């Protein structure tokens, strides 16, 4: 969105009006093209943060998950982690281990990652991904002695970044946010935006 001589704004960063049906509210939240590109880059990088574990745990790519421990080889993508937590919440996390949590975790990571990659459904992705990151933050128990930081780690930073990306319409730049908002999908312009 850019300012015109009369002080009004246009719906695109090029100075030309946005195509009919693609206006989102009062226009872009972030108006500087460089800032919009930086947010889009953060969105794409965060997509990889969510999609990589799904690929590695599903196929056993040999990074965090060896091939014999892949989900496709019959292993649980969450049992090893949930069973190895050393914190006051270890018992609660170990009790979660099972097929339902495997599916919820993998679908949550996949859905959040795809939403970020495509630039659609960022509000829903911010909620789902934020809950995943908050759960992972609690599972690491940052309050323990020897923690690098007893309050903030990458999980909380990722959760905050998810919220910022959703609130700034970061899916409109290098993503499908604008066509998604103009689509007939229920909620695409509001809570799924």
Whether the per-residue pLDDT at 175 is higher than 50: the answer is: yes
Report domain extents, the chain: 36-182
Q: What is the pLDDT of residues 11-32, one digit of tens each?
A: 444 444 444 444 444 567 899 9
Q: Which residues contact 128 (CB under 8 A, 6 or more apart)?
A: 108, 111, 112
Measured CA to CA, the distance from residue 167 to residue 55 in angstroms comes to 28
Whether the per-residue pLDDT at 133 is higher than 80: the answer is: yes
Measured CA to CA, the distance from residue 55 to residue 63 in angstroms comes to 10
DSSP state, 27?
S
Q: Are 81 and 69 in contact (CB under 8 A)?
A: no
Q: What is the pLDDT of residues 85-119, one digit of tens each?
A: 988 999 999 999 999 999 999 999 999 999 999 99
Measured CA to CA, the distance from residue 58 to residue 106 in angstroms comes to 9
The H-or-E segment that residue 109 falls in is: helix 99-118
Q: Which residues contact 51 (CB under 8 A, 6 or more apart)?
A: 109, 110, 113, 114, 117
Sign of the C-alpha dihedral computed for residues 28, 30, 31 and 37 taken in this order: negative
Residue 68: other Cβ atoms inside 10 A: 9
- Using 50, 70 and 90 to split pLDDT, how confident is the model at 137? very high
Extract the tokens encoding 3. Answer: 């300012």
Q: Are 80 and 56 in contact (CB under 8 A)?
A: no
């Amino acid at each position: 969105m850019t300012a015109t001589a009369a002080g009004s704004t246009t719906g695109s960063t090029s100075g030309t009006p946005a195509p009919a049906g693609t206006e989102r509210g009062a226009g872009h939240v972030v108006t500087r093209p460089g800032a919009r590109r930086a947010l889009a880059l953060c969105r794409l990088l965060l997509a990889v943060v969510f999609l990589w574990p799904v690929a590695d745990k599903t196929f056993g790519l040999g990074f965090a998950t060896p091939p014999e421990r892949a989900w496709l080889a019959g292993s649980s993508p969450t049992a090893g982690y949930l069973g190895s937590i050393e914190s006051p919440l270890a018992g609660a996390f170990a009790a979660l281990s099972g097929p339902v949590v495997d599916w919820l975790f993998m679908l949550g990571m996949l859905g959040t990652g795809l939403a970020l990659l495509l630039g659609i459904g960022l509000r829903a992705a911010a909620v789902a991904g934020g809950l995943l990151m908050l759960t992972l933050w609690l599972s690491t128990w940052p309050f323990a002695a020897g923690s690098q930081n007893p309050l903030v780690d990458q999980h909380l930073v990722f959760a905050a970044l998810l919220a910022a990306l959703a609130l700034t319409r970061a899916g409109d730049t290098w993503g499908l946010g604008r066509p998604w908002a103009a689509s007939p999908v229920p909620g695409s312009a509001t809570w799924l935006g």
